[in-house]
Amino acid sequence: MAKRRRSGDSGRLGVTLGLRLDAADADRLNALAERIPVGSRHSIARAALRLGLDALAEDPSRIIAPAPRRRGGR
């Protein structure tokens, strides 16, 4: 069995995961990429995925909790 890389390893990325985002999430990602100039959208999305996975591992009930309402709506 192949050795799995740890999330902090800086080696090659070996797994591809295609994601579709709704427009609001894409806008949030783009806004973060503008605010965090040292990272690409891709690297920011990977970091957000790692942080989100850590949060879900800590408290799996977060996945079924209602999402907080976003400001700036109608």
Full pLDDT tens readout for the chain, 74 residues: 444 445 555 567 888 889 899 999 999 999 999 999 887 899 999 999 999 999 999 999 988 877 666 666 55
pLDDT computed for residue 73 by the predictor = 54
pLDDT computed for residue 30 by the predictor = 94
CA 18 to chain centre: 13
pLDDT computed for residue 1 by the predictor = 42
Does residue 50 contact residue 7 with C-beta atoms inside 8 Å? yes
Q: Where does 1-74 have alpha helices with state H?
A: 23-35, 41-58
Residue type, 35: R
- The token pair at 18 is 């295609």
